[in-house]
Structure 1
Amino acid sequence: MVLVCLKCGAQYCADATPSICMMCADERGSLGRNGQEWAKKSDVFKTHKNSVHEEEPGLLSIGTEPLFGIGQRALLIQTGVGNILWDCINILQPETAKDIHSRGGIQAIAISHPHFFGGIATWAEEFDSPVYIHEKDKQFVTEPNSHIQPWSGDEKELFGGARLLRLGGHFPGSAVLHWSGGADGKGILCTGDTIQGLKDRRWVAFMLNFPLYMPLPADQVARIGRTVKAWQLDFERLHCGWTGQSVDRNAKQVVIKSAEHYVGLLDGSVEREYF
């Protein structure tokens, strides 16, 4: 039996379930008002279903209805030479699996950071896919699976113009995925919340803990901004881990501008009257 944390969606084998979810107990997590709550994964499957829609040509958004855990979605990148599932969700309905198999299945699963680990065993076993997580975050795997393949360093090339890039910050291994074929060849960046898209599409955010509004230190945001600026990779659009929070145009410039403004507010170089 598999138990699921109702707050974050982390999955545990019943005989290895802690009193408090490891992810929620971490400084980047949070508990709800009622403390730790668990559910049988089989029960969650009875009350939730997948929602699937095209985010843009070659990119499907796969979510959960009603929202579950932290409300995240997964993205299916159809590169033309194989499909990549970016990030993961707990639910995989038989009809969703059938639909994805009809589109060529999944040849690789890549995860931005541990808050998207829930469900990777289910998806990996269904599609017999390797799961790429950064080695710096492998201690956060709550449901071990033989498909998991930790990667190291700051870059990992996949296939079809897709590449993983480690930025750190939110977690030491926090990564993003760049796909050169997205946005009609102008490139897209899939970010989870390593870089967080917002309702205001002119900006993105960088945080240590989103539920508790704990910011990343200024030097870490500056480092992320410099790293993105130095990339020999362009991306017109940015797709984060939540529906309705994509950056539709000039996404690389938006990331760089947001990082510089964020740092300026924290170090005082942006002049503003506060008192």
Structure 2
Amino acid sequence: MSGTAFICATCGTQHAPSAAPPAACLICEDPRQWVPAAGQAWTTMEALARRHAIGWREVAPGLLGLGVFPDFAIGQRALLVRTPAGNVLWDCVALLDPATVTLVKALGGLTAIAISHPHFYTSMVDWARAFDCPVLLHADDRRWVMRPDPAIRFWEGETHDVLPGITLHRLGGHFAGGTILHRAEGAGAILTGDIASVAPDRKHVSFMWSFPNWVPLPAAEVTRMGARLDALAFDAIYGGWWDRVMATGGKAAMRASVARYVAAVTGPAPLAP
């Protein structure tokens, strides 16, 4: 299709090519997100590249972080998971520039892109085309794909094996198809985006239906999510932003966080300081 694949400046979601910017961004109009008071604004990959660049940082052995600088949209960073069997891009960012394409190809390219939930879909189609790889999304979130493409592969059920030692788990919560990535290497790690969001104190995780609009999840849903997480072997938790990393002690922190959350939302009184 001819036209421009416009990118929402608020959430970073790239939309299907069109002659003019879309009338609205359905991701932002959903009550889990927001539309700015000044109204919806749009940009393009070319315009984004003139003002921003992708920066890299080693987060852990075999785990490279990449994010847009200065921050764009909701400011998340993605993670390049490196394994002997291939590389997986976990979550995605709106910008893709030539330097990043060169660097990723020099590191072995991508076997797959896997994304936790629709707020991080961003420019996934451009990334998939650049590296000739599939984008793995849970089928429960199919309706939130704003730019359909043959590269997008929907998986169903509760787990999906990507590579040896790399497995996707549907956790739900924030979105019906909310997904985390489990990395079995060493003591194990989970990459969670904000499906199980690492708190600023880096000692807890939390769970919300909408983070920007402060809408919590029911206690029963968080209890279910906690049980799914407890069944996995992991020590580290990597959230969706640069400083949201729990390098060790993640399993115990997750258990304590689930208990604290349930106590907070079920009462009978606020948590004691």
Structure 1: which 5+ residue stretches go unaligned? none
Aligned position for 1:221: 222
Aligned position for 1:257: 256
Is 2:247 the partner of 1:244?
Answer: no
Aligned position for 2:211: 210
Compared CA separation, residues 272 and 196, structure 1 to 2 (3 A): closer
Partner Cα separation in structure 1 for residue 271 and residue 236 of structure 2? 31
Partner Cα separation in structure 2 for residue 99 and residue 125 of structure 1? 16
Q: Is residue 166–residue 182 contact of structure 2 (8 Å, CA) maintained in 1?
A: yes
Structure 2: which 5+ residue stretches go unaligned? none
Please list the CA deviations of residues 11-44 of structure 1 after superposition, one character each: whole Å capped at 9, or x if unmatched.
1122485422110011211122312111223211
User: What secondary structure sits across from 1:2 in the alignment?
Assistant: coil
Aligned position for 2:188: 187
Is 2:201 the partner of 1:197?
Answer: no
Aligned position for 2:90: 86
Please list the CA deviations of residues 83-121 of structure 1 after superposition, one character each: whole Å capped at 9, or x if unmatched.
000010011121111111111110011010101111101
RMSD: 1.6
Aligned position for 1:53: 57
Partner Cα separation in structure 1 for residue 48 and residue 271 of structure 2? 48
Partner Cα separation in structure 1 for residue 202 and residue 211 of structure 2? 18
- Displacement of 1:250 after TM fit? 1.3
Compared CA separation, residues 98 and 135, structure 1 to 2 (3 A): same
- Displacement of 1:160 after TM fit? 2.7
Deviates more, 1:203-212 or 1:262-271: 262-271
Q: TM (normalized to structure 2)?
A: 0.95
Matched ranges for 1:109-120 at <5 A: 109-120=113-124
Aligned letter for 1:220?
A: E
| Alignment equivalent of 2:70, drawn from 55, 66, 71 | 66
User: What secondary structure sits across from 2:237 in the alignment?
Assistant: strand
Deviates more, 1:34-43 or 1:191-200: 34-43
Partner Cα separation in structure 2 for residue 145 and residue 60 of structure 1? 27
Is 2:45 the partner of 1:41?
Answer: yes
User: What secondary structure sits across from 1:219 in the alignment?
Assistant: helix
Aligned position for 1:137: 141
User: What secondary structure sits across from 1:83 in the alignment?
Assistant: strand
Aligned position for 1:32: 36
Partner Cα separation in structure 2 for residue 145 and residue 240 of structure 1? 27
Q: Which consecutive segments of 4 or more residues in structure 1 shift more than 3 A?
A: 15-18, 269-274
Q: Percent identity?
A: 38
Aligned residues: 269
Compared CA separation, residues 91 and 217, structure 1 to 2 (3 A): same
